Amino acid sequence: MSQQETVSDRFALAREHVTPLQAASGLAFGAAIAFALVFVQEPLVHDAMHNFRHAAGIACH
């Protein structure tokens, strides 16, 4: 790997070599990551919404 290779060179190289299948699997991977993040954060979001409801004066329990 050459030291003179710039980041944009690498991006251009990647664009040239990305097939539609690779792009699709990359999108699927990104969606899986996003889904995992949402899944992990859901309890936190739920708590935040719960606190928000109480702060707004809405008793839920």
**Contacting residues toward Zn ion, per CB under 5 A:** 60-61
In the complex, residue closest to Zn ion by CB: 60
Cβ at position 53, least distance to Zn ion in Å: 6
Cβ at position 47, least distance to Zn ion in Å: 10
Cβ at position 38, least distance to Zn ion in Å: 22
Cα–Cα distance for residue pair 34/55, rounded to 1 Å: 29
Do 34 and 28 contact (CB within 8 A), yes or no? no
Residues 6+ apart with CB under 8 A from 18: 26
**Shorter beta-carbon distance to Zn ion: residue 33 or 48:** 48
